[in-house]
A = this chain, B = another copy of it.
Amino acid sequence: MPYSKEHKRRTREQILRAASHAFRAEGVGAVAIPKLMGQVGLTHGGFYAHFESKDALVAEACAAAFGEGGENLLTKVAEGAPGDELRAIIRAYLSRSHRDTPEVGCALPSLAAEIAREPAPVRHAFTQAVSGYLQQLGAYMPTSPADADAPDDASHDAIGDDALVLLSGMAGALLLARAVDDPALSDRILRTSRAFYTRTFAEKGGEAEAGKTT
């Protein structure tokens, strides 16, 4: 046998990691396989020993960007602020640092518009990944994950209404903050949204459960 199984696995992971960063930073359409392989220190031909096509890579990289194994932005931030997870998540999501480093940030604001135009398998992988992300976020929210209503279409797992609104709202704010070319306006979008979502979802008047803090 040539090389080791471990060697191939590592190369594949390197490609996947580079892709998940590049896609978020530059967009799926702007990332070329030759350039991507160059970043990993290989030539373009070798790509097809690891992935069937660019589309297959996009699908996998989407999942990776949201952090399928639980090692993602949400858990990392939450671990750093025990007892105050939700406020910490909102603060981090709507930070200048998140705005300025899309390559390691949430894939929703950077990729969702392009994913919506991608073929079915890619959209499916994205949906699965974002669903997991939403469930994770919901676990940190005051209202319990599954709401008691909606008797007609009670299916899509355990995603809470609040998590849906919070994540999509923060994603929209980050999207706008990144697009705008006036730094003062961009900062203001972050500040205003941070205050709004903290006040609405991470303080007493949330939805259920009252608690600590003034």
Contact = CB atoms under 8 A, between A and B. Distances in A.
Interface of A: 26-27, 29-30, 108-117, 120, 123-124, 126-127, 130-131, 150, 153, 155-156, 159, 161, 164-165, 167-173, 175-176, 178-182, 184-185, 188-189, 192-193, 196, 200
A116 B113 CA distance: 13
Number of this chain's copies in the assembly equals: 2
A168 B193 contact: yes
A193 B169 CA distance: 9
B175 A171 contact: yes
Nearest to A124: B181
Contacts of A181: 120, 123-124, 126-127
B120 A109 contact: no
B165 A168 contact: no
A193 B162 CA distance: 9
Given A113-B109, A184-B153, A168 B176 contact: yes
A156 B175 contact: no
A116 B179 contact: yes
Contacts of A120: 181
Nearest to A180: B127
